[in-house]
Amino acid sequence: MELTLAKALNSGLRKALESDRKVVLLGEDVGRLGGVFRITDGLHKDFGGDRVIDTPLAESGIVGTAIGLAFRGYRPVCEIQFDGFVYPAYDQIVAQLAKIRARTAGRVAMPVVVRIPFGGGIGAVEHHSESPEAYFAHTAGLRVVCCARPSDAYWMIQQAVACDDPVIFFEPKRRYWDKGEVDPGAGAPLPLHAAEVVRPGTDLTLVGYGPTVRVCLDAADAAAEEGRRLEVIDLRSLSPLDTATVRDSVARTGRLITVHEAPGYLGMAAEIGSRITEECFYSLQAPALRVTGYDTPYPPSRLEDVYLPDLERVMDCVEQSLSY
């Protein structure tokens, strides 16, 4: 069936709540309102206020109590309302959630999911458009994933809930209303941490995740008109990284560009570029390049089109890569 990404997440969460009574949702406005993006729409009504919990307005509290619930055998799914509001919970995530398995020598599992709508492009005010994924991917003990399309949203959220480690789950908020085919009968097509080649090509590998997968696909279309065949990989998992899929692709194409909205400095593209350079140096015909947000605070919305990697900037970079 055809679903929006938002509805696919909603259906995935419903499935998770149905299949395990230890699954609880926590967050601000996730109850009667159904979340500001309606990702939890209808769940409070159907599962009740003990399982779909409107929390007091405190993110540290959301994640901190989720940790306690996990200690007690629950599988909490936290909603952080917007990317820029995860920081009050940052301490609980990086100093506690990430470390409890190691601290307890494996005796205590932390099957906690922290959902974060992220990225820009919606014309919002400050703190509503950020891409903080690198902070989390840099932290051992956390798994970090990012869905880009409805089918992945539906399956990945269920896989994240089923995972016995903490999962930071990034949702591309400007793609919430994109539609795509979801087949709930089929079973998850891929493991949670696999990357996927979403468009095969021969001349260059474009790697994106979340909101930039669409940008990469558009670039591949545009390049096709000029006779260039670009391969597009949807990374899906930021930690761990499916380097094998990227390496196999770059071994064939010889060129790599990673595209993300987060600032470039120490971002995901830096990690991918470095690993690919280590692992398939002799296949590379150009340096690993990147198109990213600038290393500035996310700007006021009237400037976000300048800030965000878009078709033109990706094409510019494609040209640069091909010129080697």
Partner 1 sequence: MLTTHFPTRDPDPVQLLDPSGHRVTHPDYALDLSPEEYRALYRDLVRIRRVDAEATTLQRQGELGLWASLLGQEAAQIGAGRALRPQDFVFSSYREHGIAWCRGVPPIDLLGFWRGTAHGSWDPYRAGMANYQVVVGGHALHGVGYGMGLRLDGADGAVLVCFGDGATSQGDVHEAFTYAAVFDAPVVFYCQNNHWAISEPLTRQTRVPLYRRAFGYGFPGIRVDGNDVLATLAVTDAALEHARSGSGPVLIEAVTYRMAPHTTSDDATRYRSPDEVAEWAARDPIARLRACLEREALADDAFFADVAAEAERLAVQLRTECRSLPDPRPTALFDHVYAGPHPLIDTERAQLTAFLDQFTDRSTDRFTDRFTDRFTDRPEGPGSWS
Ligand X SMILES: Cc1ncc(C[n+]2csc(CCOP(=O)(O)OP(=O)(O)O)c2C)c(N)n1
Give me the residues that bind partner 1 (CB under 8 A), please: 4, 6, 28-29, 31-34, 36-38, 54-58, 60-61, 81-82, 84-85, 87-88, 121-128, 174-178, 265, 294-297, 299-307, 312-313, 316
Nearer to ligand X, 84 or 166 (CB): 84
Nearer to ligand X, 57 or 122 (CB): 57
In angstroms, give the least distance from the CB of 36 to ligand X.
8
According to DSSP, the β-strands at 204-208 and 230-234 are parallel
DSSP 8-state symbol, 132: -
The rounded distance, in Å, linking the Cα atoms of 28 and 41 is 13
Among 128, 138, 193, 260, which one carries the catalytic annotation? 128
According to DSSP, the β-strands at 2-4 and 179-181 are antiparallel
Sign of CA dihedral 310, 316, 318, 320: negative
In angstroms, give the least distance from the CB of 28 to partner 1.
7
* Token pair for 146: 């990012």
The residue assigned the tokens 């380097």 is 243
Nearer to ligand X, 86 or 289 (CB): 86
In angstroms, give the least distance from the CB of 149 to ligand X.
27
Nearer to ligand X, 85 or 90 (CB): 85
Say which entry of partner 1, ligand X, none residue 324 contacts (CB below 5 to 8 A, set by partner kind): none
Say which entry of ligand X, partner 1, none residue 6 contacts (CB below 5 to 8 A, set by partner kind): partner 1
In angstroms, give the least distance from the CB of 265 to partner 1.
6
Question: If you write DSSP's letter for every residue of 122-136 in order, what string do you get?
Answer: S---TTSS---HHHH
Q: Are 128 and 104 in contact (CB under 8 A)?
A: no
In sequence order, the β-bridge partners of residue 197 are 233
Reduce the DSSP state of residue 77 to 3 states and report it.
Answer: strand
Residue 85 near ligand X by CB under 6 A = yes
In angstroms, give the least distance from the CB of 320 to ligand X.
39
Say which entry of ligand X, partner 1, none residue 208 contacts (CB below 5 to 8 A, set by partner kind): none
Please name the residues in contact with 257: beta carbons below 8 A apart, sequence gap of 6 or more: 204, 205, 206, 207, 288, 289, 290, 291, 314, 317, 318, 321
Q: Does the active-site annotation cover 127?
A: no
The rounded distance, in Å, linking the Cα atoms of 300 and 127 is 10
Say which entry of partner 1, ligand X, none residue 108 contacts (CB below 5 to 8 A, set by partner kind): none
- Pick out residues in 11-70 that bind ligand X (CB under 6 A): 28, 57, 59
Nearer to ligand X, 81 or 321 (CB): 81
| Residues belonging to the chain | 324
- What CA dihedral angle connects 242, 208, 249 and 284, to 10 degrees? -110
In sequence order, the β-bridge partners of residue 230 are 204
DSSP 8-state symbol, 17: H
In angstroms, give the least distance from the CB of 162 to ligand X.
28
Say which entry of partner 1, ligand X, none residue 95 contacts (CB below 5 to 8 A, set by partner kind): none
Which residue among 88, 180, 264, 299 contacts ligand X (CB under 6 A)? 88
Q: Is 315 exposed, middle or buried (0-12, 13-18, 19+ CB in 10 A)?
A: middle
Say which entry of ligand X, partner 1, none residue 61 contacts (CB below 5 to 8 A, set by partner kind): partner 1
Nearer to partner 1, 177 or 324 (CB): 177
Q: Which residues are catalytic?
A: 128
Residues that bind ligand X (CB under 6 A): 28, 57, 59, 81, 85, 88
